[in-house]
Structure 1
Amino acid sequence: MKSIIKKEHLFVAFALVVFSGCKKLYNLPDEKDYLSNNVNFSNKILEPIIGRNNLIGGFNGDNSTAPITFEIVNARFGDGRPVSDIFQKVPTYVWTAPYTGLEKSLAEIEAKRKLEEHSLLEIRSSGQFILWASATNQLITPRPSDSTNFSQDTRFFDVKVKNTGGERLIKDFQIRPFRERPYEPSNDFNAYTGLPAPDPKFPLDKKLRDYIRPYLNNVIGANSNKNLVSNNDQKDVVVYIRPFTGGNGHSLRIKALNKDSVEINPAFFNETVWDKMIHGFNMQKTDKYVQYDVAYPIPLVEIPTSYATGGSRAKAELSYSRAAFGGGRTIANFGVDFAIYRAGDWEIVFHFKTDNPKFAGE
């Protein structure tokens, strides 16, 4: 048995030597990687939103050998003009350490990311496209405000896909960027024009507009003694997400207004867990608002944390209790799941338009 094993080993070794010698003798080429003729992308029309990180598209390599490189080439408008704006290099935030939601200060957050120079539009080693959040309406002209898609307004490009087995050219990608929507929900303004959105029930009435609508649970009107609602038919409470002046450049303020547009003292929202709601620091609580120092965007990354359970949205929720019949307490709350993509001083405002919330007991 031992002699048989040794003979087999000698044969394998001899075959390897012979093959190596033949390869040199006959100048046989090195083995190449495989690149399928059917490599493609799941989507060739890219419609990112300017001002936020957009990961778009999916590459199908059809069992091609990795690694594969990608290159955007021949960028042009539909009328043949060259495209350059989407390839401007600008300072862009990239993470150098994982964000967890457990950071205890702005400094700790900022230590985990840095500014690097990146083209506004890039294609990654995975074959995914990214339009970086550093893009703005001033750097990249958004799609036309009248919602048309004329060829002369559309940016086209091709992608060169390559490995050692060869290369393929996939033609005629289109990118049609929407103008910045610095926050979500953003149904209160038109995605094409940036102007206030019309009321969905009466779209032709110029005096009416749409609003961000909060969720409401057991919120009773002080005068009507009925549940307040917010939908397309009735807007007892609406939400504004808007900039304010006088902040420090990285603050978030939360407040509520009564039907006379006067601030409601946050102390009335006696069940609100203010220090656990927002991943912010140096909380200031006044008789008109609660304010935090924050890092933008909010959420910072789209992963589940205690401040963003779904990953893509944070939550502003105000809660309060009042005496109920029989000696118990009634709990009410209202809020909005939101995101803010542009750094600055922002406030989330809950406006009770038709009736004030009832805080008095039964």
Structure 2
Amino acid sequence: MNNNLSTPIKEEIEGLSLDEDSAWADYPIDTILIRNENRTVHDVLRRIEKGAFVMDPDFQRDFIWPDDKQSKLIESVLMRIPLPVFYLAENDEGKMVVVDGLQRLSTFQRFVNDELRLKLPEQKELNKKRFSDLSPKLQNRIEDCNLILYIIDAKVPQKALLDIFERVNSGVPLTRQQMRNCLFSGKATSFLRTEASTPIFKRATGNSLQPSTMRDREIINRFCAFKLLNKNDYRGDMDQYLAETLKHMNTLDNAALERLSSQFRTSLKNNYTVFGKHAFRKHQEHQESRNVFNASLWDVMSVCLSRYSENIVEARAEMIRDGFYALMENDDFIESITLGTNQVNRVKRRFDLAKQMIEEAINA
């Protein structure tokens, strides 16, 4: 086992249902609302300054274009070469989240603000020039450049919105959690980022969840969902459920988020106390080798063991382990954490069985 908690171990994750890959037939055609607008660079940058565009989703920070590529974009505009369209998604606050085109808009912003010096050695009249060094004619050509914006309406169903993200994004492919992180940026996404960085989270999960794809934050998002929302409201659409959780978390005050953080960290300590390196993984008594992380097992064990103090769990650790090993022999439970795990009946079944087991172990 790799004890270096700074470098995640690359391994598969079990218990994540593959039915998140939806079909377009699932959506009534009239619900896919996309409108187009034409705006100049000057107009878009003014809106960015006013905070009307969400321009800094933290998953994009590692994907900044180098200066020479940014310079080529400015050169294209000066040469009047048409640009590809931009895709934006309107959020519930009426702000525009940049789905595709963030790097191009960031380039315009940097150049007009004199933060970019052009690297165009073959264009001597432009090379090493900043925006303020250009003639008024060329400055106007930049600011008057027409951008075609396709705007995805806020009423579009969450699952359809994520599918649109996947289809139109021309940059680095994004995971569903990275998309949610962009759409619901705020207290909720800050909470996920903070909790994913703690040593106890990395230790309890065996450092198996990749930060680069936000798999670590997705798992924490799942804990928050089943901890905060009524499980009876779950309708089989995990994307929607996780999105509703982030929206709800963004409305919570700091005290509520601090309580949630305390409950979450208590759960991590409890699971590690009881199961050690096997936490959130299928395993049998006396097993030495470590199985892969199971997201559905995480759902039930993280939520169920968040309800008890560390002292109580430590005192009942052996009985909880015995109960868990019995669940590992229960075909109904194993099926609920392995196959079609997003199905409503499987979610309900695994929570019912795990909750019953832990209550019996605690109260025995």
- TM-score (structure 1 length as normaliser): 0.22
Of Structure 1 and Structure 2, the greater helix share is in: 2
With a CA cutoff of 8 Å and minimum separation of 6, indicate the structure with the bigger relative contact order: 2
Between structure 1 and structure 2, the one with the greater Rg is 1
TM-score by length of 2: 0.22
